[in-house]
Amino acid sequence: MKLALNPDVLNAIDPPIAEAHSWIEGREFSADKPLLDLAQGVPSYPPAEAISAHVAERAQLFETAQYTGIKGIPELRETLANHVSKRYRGHVSAENILISAGCNQAFCLAIQALARAGDAVMLPVPYYFNHQMWLEIQGIDAIHLPFRHDRAGVPDPEEAVALLTPNTKAIVLVSPSNPTGAVYPPQVISEFRDLAAQRGIALILDETYRDFLTDENGPPHNLIQEGHWDETLVQLYSFSKTFSLTGYRVGAVSASARVIQAVAKVMDTVQICTPRISQDAALFGLKHAWPWVEEKRVMLAARENGMKRIFQDNDLGYELISAGGYFAYIRHPFENMTAKQVARSLADNQNILCLPGSFFGPGQERFLRFAFANIQESDMDTLAARLKESATALS
C-alpha cells in the first residue's frame, strides 16, 4: 500500500524552471548557434572578489559554523535597517528586520505568519510562480488580479477593490516585477497600501530587484517615509541578486516588531536561523560592495536598453510589453499556439530557452518571459535575428 501524501502539495504547480530545463536536457549546442538561456533569472557573474575573500577568511572561524539568533546577526540587522532608512528616507530599526534564507523563504515565512488554510491572498497576474505554489501548498486561496498589458504590466488598484473578500489577509506586489519586469510607480504602490490599510490587511511588497532600478530621482516608493509604515507594509528583500549570492540563500523581511516576532516563530521551527556564512557575506556586501553593485547596475541597464532597442528597431513579429530588473515580458504573434508550444519551438529550433506565460497564471497564453539579465548586450541582435526567423517559420 502506497503512503498517502499531502494532496495540497501534490496538486500544487510543479517547479517550472526544472520543466523548462528538461526541454534541452542532453542536447549539445554548436558554436555557430549557441544556447541563449533566458529561462531562470540568475546573476551571470560571480560575487565581488572582496566578498569571496571575506567569506573564505570567515570560514576558518568556529563562530561561523554556529547558530546565530533566530532573527539574524544583530550587526547585519542594524546595518540593513540603516541602509533601508537611507534608501527610502524614513526610519527602520533592527527590530523591524529578520534575516531569512533567501527572499523565497522570506515570502513563505511572512505568509505563514499572516494567513492560514482557508484564508485568501491577492496576487496580480502574471504572478511569481513560487508565490502561487506556496499558497497552494498551504491551502490558502489565491485571488488573481487580472493582467493589464495595456498598463505595461502595472496592476490596477481599483480593480482590486471588488475582488477582495472578508477572508483576504494580504495583497502581494513584486516591483520590479517577476515575471514582467514592470516597475510600479510610487503612486500605484501607495494606492495599494491605502487599500490594504483600509481593509486591515498586509501589503507584502517583494523588492528583490530594487537595486537594479535605473531611476535615481528618489526611492522606489514613499511608504517608509510615512509614519506607522509598519502597520501595513511587509517588505521583502534579497541579497542574492544584489551581491550575486543566489546559492548562499540570504534575504530579509522588514515589518512591524509584532509581525517580525510571528515570523521569527515560524523561522525557528523551519530553519532556526539563516546560515551564518551567508549572513557574513551579506553584511560585508552592505558595508563595502556598493561600488561593485553600481557597476553591475549599469551593465544590466545596458542589457535592458538593448532588449528594448531590438523590439523598437526591428519588425520581429513579437511585442515587448514591459522590461526592468532582470526580465522582459513578450507577446508572441501566434494566435493558434499556446505559450508552451511557442517556448518549446524556440528551444527546439532557435536554441532560445525562455518561459511560457502560462507558467505565471491564467490568461497568459500569448506571452513569454525572457530573463535578459542572463545574456550579454552583444547577444541582443542575435536574439532578434532568431526571433524574426521563428516568426517567419511558424506563421
Verify that 117 and 173 share a domain, yes or no: yes
Separation of alpha carbons 213 and 298, rounded Å: 10
Q: Is residue 357 part of a domain?
A: yes
SS3 182: coil
pLDDT value of residue 40 = 87
Q: Is residue 316 part of a domain?
A: yes
Separation of alpha carbons 153 and 123, rounded Å: 13
- Tally the domains of the chain: 2
Verify that 273 and 367 share a domain, yes or no: no
Q: Is residue 385 part of a domain?
A: yes
Q: Is residue 125 part of a domain?
A: yes
276 closest CA partner among 15, 42, 83, 99: 99
Of 260, 289, 318, the one marking the end of a domain is 289
Helix-strand-coil percent breakdown of the chain, rounded to 5?
50, 15, 35
Verify that 206 and 281 share a domain, yes or no: yes
Of 235, 262, 289, the one marking the end of a domain is 289
H-type alpha helices, the chain: 7-10, 16-22, 49-58, 74-88, 103-114, 129-138, 157-163, 186-199, 239-242, 257-270, 276-288, 290-313, 339-350, 380-394
Exposure letters 181-208 (e unless 16+ CB within 10 A, then b) = bbbbeeebbbbbbebbeebebbbbbbbb
Mean pLDDT of 227-232: 88
Mean pLDDT of 107-114: 97
Write the pLDDT tens digit of every residue in 313-329.
778 889 999 999 899 99
Mean pLDDT of 357-362: 95
Separation of alpha carbons 41 and 327, rounded Å: 7
Verify that 157 and 75 share a domain, yes or no: yes
Q: What is the DSSP letter of 388?
A: H
> pLDDT band at 234, cuts 50/70/90?
very high
What are residue 253's DSSP bridge partners? Answer: 98, 236
| Least reliable range by pLDDT among 13-22, 70-79, 118-127, 253-262 | 13-22
Residue 315's domain is classified under what CATH number?
Answer: 3.90.1150.10
Mean pLDDT of 227-237: 92
Residue 122's domain is classified under what CATH number?
Answer: 3.40.640.10
Separation of alpha carbons 169 and 146, rounded Å: 19
Asked if 297 and 212 touch (Cβ cutoff 8 Å), the reply is: yes
Q: Is residue 2 part of a domain?
A: no
Verify that 143 and 259 share a domain, yes or no: yes
SS3 33: coil
Neighbours of 178 (CB within 10 A): 25
Verify that 58 and 39 share a domain, yes or no: no
Mean pLDDT of 118-123: 97
Q: Which three cell numbers stand for residue 171?
A: 495583497
| Least reliable range by pLDDT among 131-140, 209-218, 372-381 | 209-218
* Residue 149, pLDDT above cutoff 90: no
Separation of alpha carbons 380 and 372, rounded Å: 9
Of 254, 289, 324, the one marking the end of a domain is 289
Mean pLDDT of 352-371: 96
* Residue 214, pLDDT above cutoff 80: no
Mean pLDDT of 266-272: 96
Asked if 299 and 262 touch (Cβ cutoff 8 Å), the reply is: no
> pLDDT band at 216, cuts 50/70/90?
low
Query: Which domain does 385 fall in, by range?
Result: 8-46+292-390
Q: Is the pTM of this model over 0.85?
A: yes
Separation of alpha carbons 140 and 112, rounded Å: 10
Write the pLDDT tens digit of every residue in 298-309.
999 999 999 999
Write the pLDDT tens digit of every residue in 237-255.
999 999 999 999 999 999 9
pLDDT value of residue 215 = 67
Verify that 253 and 301 share a domain, yes or no: no
Q: Which comes out higher in pLDDT, residue 1 or 379?
A: 379
pLDDT value of residue 217 = 62
Verify that 318 and 191 share a domain, yes or no: no
Asked if 224 and 92 touch (Cβ cutoff 8 Å), the reply is: yes
The pLDDT mean for the chain works out to: 94
Verify that 78 and 20 share a domain, yes or no: no
- Going through 8-124 in order, the beta strands assigned E by DSSP cover 36-37, 97-100, 120-124
Complete DSSP assignment for 282-326: HHHHHHH-HHHHHHHHHHHHHHHHHHHHHHHHS--S-EEEEEETT
| Least reliable range by pLDDT among 56-70, 207-221, 238-252 | 207-221
Mean pLDDT of 165-188: 96
* Residue 160, pLDDT above cutoff 90: yes
Verify that 306 and 338 share a domain, yes or no: yes
Verify that 125 and 35 share a domain, yes or no: no
* Residue 196, pLDDT above cutoff 80: yes
Separation of alpha carbons 110 and 260, rounded Å: 9
Q: Is residue 93 part of a domain?
A: yes
pLDDT value of residue 19 = 92
pLDDT value of residue 358 = 96
Q: Which comes out higher in pLDDT, residue 77 or 152?
A: 77
Mean pLDDT of 258-267: 97
Write the pLDDT tens digit of every residue in 332-342.
999 999 999 99
Q: Is residue 188 part of a domain?
A: yes
Q: Is residue 268 part of a domain?
A: yes
Verify that 127 and 84 share a domain, yes or no: yes
